[in-house]
Structure formats: structure tokens, C-alpha cells
A and B are shown apart, each in its own frame.
Chain A
Amino acid sequence: MSFNVTCKHVSNSLSAYLDRELAGGESLRIRAHVESCRACRDEFESLRELKNRLSSMEPALPPDDFEERLILAVGANSPRMLRARQPSSTRLFLGVATLAAAMTLVAISFRQPAAPLHRAATSVAKNDGLALEIEGDQIYAAESDPLSGGHVLLAADNNSR
């Protein structure tokens, strides 16, 4: 059978057919075509062989001491401590440095009584995953939402005068 529109449609559906993710009617139509079309049957067999090889890959196992290092690092909710010189340590340092710089800025601004308070929100700093913003006498820290990718409030200054 020549490679026509039907073959193209079938080809694009072969992975879903292989994974049994097609509705009954469509699945039956694909199966009928695959049985009668050599090119699509070869394509299907090729994808099935690849899926079998992927499914047969041995699971990668962590080092023996990984569990305890992970529990220590996450359970203590402390700075990244799994391995030395990892990129995330740099990120944490930048976050802390940014926060410190922002707090310094706020402290300086409150030491100048003649200066009016800025009511509009001012973005102080932003780096990977951490954003700081000042609005009036409030400071907000937000970070990336791990699910949506947006920002969520992490901390706010609620100290009223």
C-alpha cells in the first residue's frame, strides 16, 4: 500500500495505539490498517521494539549513602549540603545575598525621616526562583511555584510601627 493520507494519520497514531490509549473505534480502525499495510506494520513493529527496550532498562539505583544524605539535607531544611561545589549552592548564596541587600536597602530608607514612603511596589531584586519587592513599609519575598511555575509568597514583613 502506498503512503497516503491514511497512512500518515495512522503513523501519527501508532504510539497511542501501541500504548492502548485510543478509544475503541479508532483503535479498531488502526488495527485493521496495520494488518493490511506493510509500511505501517513495519513502523508499528519498530516502535514496539523500541518501547520494549526502554521498558527493559535496568532501574538506576542511588549510592548506598544517598538516602541518609538526602534526609539530612531536606529534613533539616538547611542549605544545600549534599555535595560540595554544586550549582544549587551558588543559587542559594545568591538568594541570601539578594535578601540581605534588599533588607539593607529597606533599613537605609527608614533611617531618612524626610523622605516620603513609596506606596507603589518596587521590585528590588530577582534571580532564579526568588523575587523581592518593597511596597510602602512592607517587604515581600516570593519564589517560583514548583507546580505552576508562577510565584508564591514566601515571607512578608508584618511588623507595624
Chain B
Amino acid sequence: MPITLVRARSEVDAKDRAAFEGLMRKTHRQAYGFAFRLTGNGAEAEDLVQETYLRAFRFFYRYDAGMPFTNWIYRIMSNAHVDALRRRSRLRTSSLEQAGADGSTAWELPDLLASPDRPMLESLLDEPLQKAMNGMTAEFRTAVVLADLEGLAYDEIAETMGTSVGTVRSRIHRGRKQLRNHLLRNYPAEYGGLADEL
């Protein structure tokens, strides 16, 4: 008996293809900027953007035009980023650093010395702020980037991350404290102005 796999409704209609391409051309720079802040380097940002739009294209029939397209892309990208981190955590051992006295969870600092793409990472991580962001817990980083770099309101971030406003509020606050404490510890000359209780 022959087996025929039939594409279900996830297949995007041909008529939607042009509309999707138009949206992709309009939003891909912004998407790349968000991806770069999440991943910390251009190569991974490109992969993440591509994966995000591939998923978005497959599920375009579920896009609600009442939601800004970029917010929908951010939502898909947030999930794709978490998926990528989970895959990587199965492949690579990470160095861990306790976040400190603010009760937050351990940092996800990658072991750069053991990484095969170390030179590329080093050249891109010379910016202290980006390097500190790379060390944040993924959920905290996403919330802080959406709030401070993308300018989303808490309710929009909650919708994007599929969580409550209260959780967003907590993640942003703890994320900022992670960032600040990391900068103070590692770059006191440049970021000494952030010091308060330390």
C-alpha cells in the first residue's frame, strides 16, 4: 500500500507567500537586532532569525493581525532561543557562576575557553554590556531586552513570553540586578557609577 503524506493546514497558502515576504523584508532588521542581543554574536543571530521566520512562515495562518507582527516574531524567537539553548546544553558543558546575594539563579556563562568558536566570540564580546547580557539567565535577558532595547510595555512582554505581568516584573528587576552586579564586579572602572549598596 502506498503511503502518502498529506500536508495539513500548516501549509501556508501561496497567496500568503507574498504578504509574508513583505512582512519579513519590513521586520528582519529589527528581528536581527533582537536576536543579536539574545545570542551575543552575529552567526547565532542569523541562525535564530532564520529559524524564527521558518516557524512563523509555517504557522502564518495562525497570526492574529491585531498583534504587531514584530511582537509575534519576538514571541516565536523567544521560544526558538530557549529551544536552541536546551539543545546546546545537551551538547556542551557550561561554566556556572552563582549570581550573588540577590537570590537569582545561576548564570549561564558559556565556557569560552572550551568553545571551538572562541576567537569569533571573543571579538564580539568586547563590549562589557553585551558580555554581561550574555551571562544572564535566558528568561531574564529576554525580558530586559524587550523592555529596555525594544521598548515594550510589561503586558506586551507578558504576551510575548507567554507568562504573567507579575513574572515579567520580577524577571526584569532581577535581570537588571544581575547585569549591574556583573558590571560592577568585572568593569568597576567603566561602571563604577552604578555602585550603590555594594
Contacts and interface: CB of A to CB of B under 8 A. Distances in A.
A19 B36 contact: no
| Dominant secondary structure of chain B at its interface with chain A | helix
A45 B197 CA distance: 12
Contacts of A146: 55-56, 58-59, 75-76, 79-80
A39 B197 CA distance: 7
Given A155-B5, A159-B1, A159-B2, A49 B28 contact: no
Contacts of A153: 8, 10
A110 B1 contact: yes
Nearest to B195: A46
A50 B21 contact: no
Contacts of B118: none
Contacts of B183: 50
Contacts of B24: 70-71, 74-75
Given A55-B148, A67-B28, A147-B75, A156 B5 contact: yes
B169 A43 contact: no
Contacts, number: 169
A21 interface: yes
A73 interface: yes
A46 B179 contact: no
B46 A54 contact: no
Given A19-B154, A70-B53, A156 B76 contact: no
B194 A50 contact: yes
Contacts of B49: 62, 66, 70
Given A39-B197, A54-B149, 5 more contacts: A16-B169, A42-B197, A77-B54, A83-B43, A87-B84
B47 A75 contact: no
A157 B50 contact: no
